[in-house]
Structure 1
Amino acid sequence: MTSDITLFVNPTAGRGRGAQAARPALDALRDAGLTVRTVLGHDAADALRRARGAVADGTGALVAVGGDGMVSLALRVVAGTSVPLGIVAAGTGNDFARTLGLPVRDPAAAARAAAAALKDTGGRAVDLGRVTGGSAAAGAAAAGTATAEAGTRWYATVLASGFDSRVNDRGNRMRVPAGRFKYDLAILAELAAFRPVPYRLTLDGGRIVEVDATLVAVGNGTSYGGGMRICADARTDDGLLDVTVVGDCDRTTLIKVFPRVYKGTHLDHPKVTTYRTRTLALDAPGTTGYADGEPLGPLPLAVECVPGALRVLAPATPGPA
């Protein structure tokens, strides 16, 4: 194990919490005896270039400071390599950190946990989701991903499509209000306009499921949106994706079911069906996919679980998400 590591910082995460979290994280890592290089890009493409340079130079770990969007960027650098990823969760959602049982919005504690795991075991292996498709290629190219990788996108938590992705689409188009409140307004607007969508799912290249659905979520991790346990039974070490299908709901049913997502009790509702699969082909008209909160573009998309694709600096046994 090398004691030289890289701190990968998003200063805008959580409306500035990323920048505030960087200093106590840096101090805690140095107090643990590590030599720390800080990477702070001017934009996503510049940050990726700098982080890739650190990995190429032999950094002992990449420690991402920010939210799930920053983790998504970091995956483009370390997924499929032997370089472990540490997470100092300082964003809005922080769902991957929750899934791994890591401290949230406590940068010093998160940095100490990363340092301890690095020194103790060097990290543990977890699965990742990998998405392929033309729109994933376009998104990767826009973020500066190398041509050989341009058709793929890694994700750690949940791929969302349907009602939840439409809320994201609408919220991203709204200039005001700022913060989470605009997504609350986007939910109300989408509820007024919502209609179920015809989906076609192909599981493990064979079984085909055609269903009118409110949403389909494909989980490597358990939650998205800051603790909504849409794929509550998902594990990051079983080599499988958990697929949650919320069927043809009217608005009244959706309003009743959706709050249950925070505890994961929605999985028992008769309108909800779940599947476990290693690969999934996902298609629906006029529907955008999001993974780790980042847009992938319109369906169709192909998704697969890649076992052990990432080493994370996290406890051997994850805590509650």
Structure 2
Amino acid sequence: MTSEITLFVNPTAGRGRGARAAQPAASALRAAGFSVRTVLGEDAEDALARARAAVEGGTGALIAVGGDGMANLALRAVAGTGTPLGLVAVGTGNDFARALGLPVREPAAAGRMIADALKCGRLRDIDLGQVGDRWFGTVLASGFDSRVNDRGNRMRWPSGRFKYDLAMIAELAAFRPVPYRIRLDDGEIREVEATLIAVGNGSSYGGGMRICPGADLTDGLFDITVVGDCDRTTLLRVFPRVYRGTHVEHPQVTVVRAARVEIAAAGITGYADGEPLGPLPLSARCVRGGVRVVGP
């Protein structure tokens, strides 16, 4: 592996933590003997083009500095290339970094761990989700949770996670279950009234909510969590259990596993790794060994 590696930096992640985190991470990597080049972009598409150029130029690894959105952008540059991906997680959710066992909001520690892993060859291939030409590492969300995202993204105040808490309260007031149509890879079609459907390559989203607690990044399958027709009282009682992953024990929650799934519902946007994919219907497939990652 070449000693030249690339830091892929989002300067706005975590209210500026991305820019501040790049320096200690780069220092840790340089102290380990790596030559570090930093890639910034004027916008997401420009940054992606620069990251892809670095990968095509033979960089030894692409290290994304930011949150889950930055990790998702980096996946678009490295998926299927064999170029290792590392994460210096300084965003709001950081679920992909947690899934890989990397430090969260500790850029120097993450830099040291990544440097050590690269030098010792601790690399592994993990699965990715793919929808069209888009990739995701954690969860494709749809339903109540994606409506909270929709509302939160429209709110200009407050900032940070608090606005999504307010958005959730507002969505609860207007909440109604949604008629879904699900097609699995064996051809089975299910029509259900559901609160939400989450397609998990990884186990968590939203900063540690273990919506698909049994998801395995290396089994070639999605864990698809279906939260059925719940009233508000039931939803409020079940939802806090998602942080422990015990919500799947509730009778209104079912989990199925499949390598491919299509979900359809009217008026619902799909989000993957917290980024909007577009309106349903969406078809996702689990790509076994879709990306090589750096980690413990």
Give the TM-score band, short-chain normalised: over 0.9
Which residue does 2:10 correspond to in 1?
A: 10
How far apart in 1 are the matches of 2:213 and 2:67? Answer: 20
How far apart in 1 are the matches of 2:245 and 2:11? Answer: 32
Which residue does 2:70 correspond to in 1?
A: 70
CA contact (8 A) 1:123 1:311 kept: yes
* 203-212 or 66-75, larger mean C-alpha shift: 203-212
1:198 aligned to which of 156, 164, 179? 179
Indicate the RMSD between aligned Cα atoms, in angstroms: 0.8
Query: Is structure 2 residue 40 aligned with structure 1 residue 40?
Result: yes
Which residue does 1:239 correspond to in 2?
A: 220
Unaligned runs of 5+ in 2: none
CA contact (8 A) 1:84 1:122 kept: no
Which residue does 1:303 correspond to in 2?
A: 284
Q: Give the TM-score, by structure 1 length.
A: 0.91
Which residue does 1:165 correspond to in 2?
A: 146
1:180 aligned to which of 161, 174, 177? 161
Name the aligned partner's letter for residue 215 of structure 2.
A
Which residue does 2:19 correspond to in 1?
A: 19
**TM superposition shift of 1:49:** 1.2
Q: Give runs of ≥4 in structure 1 deviating > 2 Å.
A: none
Unaligned runs of 5+ in 1: 133-151, 316-321
Which residue does 1:79 correspond to in 2?
A: 79
Name the aligned partner's letter for residue 41 of structure 1.
G
How far apart in 1 are the matches of 2:162 and 2:7? Answer: 31
How far apart in 1 are the matches of 2:15 and 2:224? Answer: 31
- Taking structure 1 as reference, are residues 205 and 281 closer, same or farther at Cα in structure 2, changes over 3 Å only? farther
Matched ranges for 1:199-278 at <5 A: 199-278=180-259
SS of match in other structure, 2:183: strand
How far apart in 1 are the matches of 2:142 and 2:84? Answer: 29
CA contact (8 A) 2:96 2:137 kept: yes
1:155 aligned to which of 125, 136, 141? 136
CA contact (8 A) 1:128 1:309 kept: yes
User: CA-to-partner distance for each residue in 1:129-187, whole Å, 9 max, x for gaps?
Assistant: 0012xxxxxxxxxxxxxxxxxxx210000000000000000001111111111111100
CA contact (8 A) 2:122 2:295 kept: no
SS of match in other structure, 2:18: helix
How far apart in 1 are the matches of 2:283 and 2:119? Answer: 37
How far apart in 2 are the matches of 1:209 and 1:274? Answer: 13
User: CA-to-partner distance for each residue in 1:181-229, whole Å, 9 max, x for gaps?
Assistant: 1111100110000100011111114111110000000000010000000
**TM superposition shift of 1:45:** 1.0
Which residue does 2:101 correspond to in 1?
A: 101
Which residue does 1:30 correspond to in 2?
A: 30
How far apart in 1 are the matches of 2:160 and 2:259? Answer: 35
